[in-house]
Amino acid sequence: MDISSAALVVIDMQNGFVNHHSRHVVPTVADLVARWSAAGRPVVFTRYFNYPDSPYERFFQWRRLQGPPETDIVPELAEAAGHAHASVDKTGYTLFTPEAAELVRRAGWTDLVFCGIATESCVLKSAADAFEHGYAPWIVTDACASDAGPDVHDAGLLVARRLIGTGQLVDVEQVMGQIDTQRADPVLE
C-alpha cells in the first residue's frame, strides 16, 4: 500500500444504511477516519441518493434513501464529513462518477482505501472499479459491514478476493501500521 499517494474512501455511512447488522462498524470507521485524518491524509466521503423510477425502484421495489434523514451521514461521522477532502454524491453503487474519477485523477492518488457500507455492493463495486481504472484498491475488512447481515458481508469479501485479489483485503491495524511506518521514515515524507 502506498500511503503517500492514498486516499481513504468512506462509502455511504448514512443513517439509512445503519441498522442492527451494520451499526457495529460505525465506531470502527469513525476511529479509522480520525486516525487517517490526524496523519494528514485525504478522506473522501460518498453519499448515495435514490430517486423516483431508479433501477432500485424498478427492479427491487426499493424506495428508501431519497432524502433526509436517511441520506444524512451518521452523526458520529458528520463533522469529519464536513472537513473531508471531498464529498461525492452518487445515484449508483460506485464511487466512480465522472466527477469522482476526475477528482482521483487530478489528486494523483494511486491507492484507494475503502471502508463503509455495504461491503457486497457499494464498497465492492467501488473497489472493483478502482481496480479496472488502474488504481490499487484496498478494502478494510473490519471497517466495512452489510446492512443485510454478516453472511452477506462475508460473501462480499469472498467476491472481492476474486475480483481485486486476496492481498488487497486488509484490516484497520494493517492500514494504521502503514501510516505509522510512513511517519517513522523521513525518506517517505
pLDDT score at 182? 72
- If DSSP codes are grouped into helix, strand and coil, which group holds residue 89? strand
Summarised one tens digit per residue, pLDDT across range 50-83 is 999 999 999 999 999 999 999 999 999 999 999 9
Cα gap 45→150, rounded to integer Å: 23
pLDDT band at 186 (very low <50, low <70, confident <90, very high): low
The structure's pTM equals 0.94
Domain range enclosing 113: 3-188
Please give the DSSP secondary-structure letter assigned to residue 108.
T
Cell 462509502 sits on residue: 11
- DSSP β-ladder status, 43-48 and 6-11: parallel
- If DSSP codes are grouped into helix, strand and coil, which group holds residue 2? coil
pLDDT score at 142? 98
If one counts the domains in the chain, the total is 1
- DSSP β-ladder status, 136-145 and 169-170: parallel
Cis, bond preceding 118 (omega within 30 deg of 0): yes
Cell 452523526 sits on residue: 75
Please give the angle made by the CA atoms of 41, 121 and 166, to the nearest 5 degrees.
Answer: 65
CA 63 to chain centre: 22
Please compute the mean of the pLDDT values over residues 165-171 and round it to a whole number. 98
Instruction: CATH number of the domain at 133, please.
Output: 3.40.50.850
Please give the angle made by the CA atoms of 157, 161 and 167, to the nearest 5 degrees.
Answer: 110
pLDDT score at 183? 65
Are 121 and 154 a contacting pair, CB within 8 Å? Answer: no
Summarised one tens digit per residue, pLDDT across range 138-154 is 999 999 999 999 999 99
pLDDT band at 43 (very low <50, low <70, confident <90, very high): very high
Cα gap 81→84, rounded to integer Å: 5
pLDDT score at 184? 59
